[in-house]
Amino acid sequence: MAILKIARMGHPVLKQRAAEVPDPAAPEIRRLVADMVETMIDANGAGLAAPQVHVPLRLVVFQAPGERTPDTGEESFDHTAPLTVLINPVIEVLGPELDGGWEGCLSVPELRGYVERPGHIRYRGFDHEGNPVQRTASGFHARVVQHECDHLDGILYPQRMTDLTKLIFESEARHWMRPQIEE
């Protein structure tokens, strides 16, 4: 396994639609998945898409361990997602409700942005052994899946933001995420 170089905002590989994976169980895909998981963990990320490691294929890995996503009152349900490999994903929105939350990205280092996304989704695809994967997700789990799958269509989270005054440096996040004091 190897730690892969992460493409940063502005690199052409992050701006294009990624190609379908013809054989999810191919040995080269299994190697890529292993390297992506190692890279995601090394970078302390919740997810990673193949285009982020300069491979324009429709493949993402993600996880949302409960201890990593403390309940802050926002997105207060379904904070967990097991380590998941999702190849050739399809997302279906299950309701009109939007959830807002702060997002970061390994390809947009040191920044956070407030993004509203559908709060309840179903996703499906294949794992790296060719087995079908299908789950419903809400809260942070749904946010992670949508964020990673956006990479497969050449979209970075700042493009989803409706208020760019909520694009901040991580070092300043404490000012936005601390409890509000009532006057």
Digit-coded pLDDT (tens) for 34-67: 999 999 999 999 999 999 999 999 999 999 766 5
Digit-coded pLDDT (tens) for 127-145: 999 999 999 999 999 999 9
> What is d(CA 106, CA 94) in angstroms, rounded to the nearest whole number?
28
Residue 79, amino acid: H
Strands annotated E in the chain? 47-49, 59-64, 81-93, 98-105, 108-118, 120-126, 132-138, 167-169
* 148 has catalytic annotation: yes
Q: Is the pLDDT of residue 28 over 80?
A: yes
Q: Is residue 62 part of a domain?
A: yes
At residue 181 the predicted structure's pLDDT band, cuts being 50, 70 and 90, is very low
CATH at 41: 3.90.45.10
The whole domain housing 150 covers 12-98+119-159
Q: Is residue 55 part of a domain?
A: yes
CB-based contacts of 141, cutoff 8 Å, min separation 6: 64, 78, 79, 80, 81
Q: How many CB atoms lie within 10 A of CB 161?
A: 16
Q: Is residue 166 part of a domain?
A: no
Q: Is residue 135 part of a domain?
A: yes
Q: Is the pLDDT of residue 75 over 70?
A: no
Q: Is residue 174 part of a domain?
A: no
Instruction: Please pick, among 74, 97, 148, 170, the residue that the annotation labels catalytic.
Output: 148
Digit-coded pLDDT (tens) for 136-169: 999 999 999 999 999 999 999 999 999 999 999 9
Q: Is residue 152 part of a domain?
A: yes
Q: Is residue 112 part of a domain?
A: no
Whether 131 contacts 84, CB under 8 Å: no
Q: Is residue 65 part of a domain?
A: yes
Q: Is the pLDDT of residue 95 over 90?
A: yes
* Whole-number average pLDDT of the chain: 90
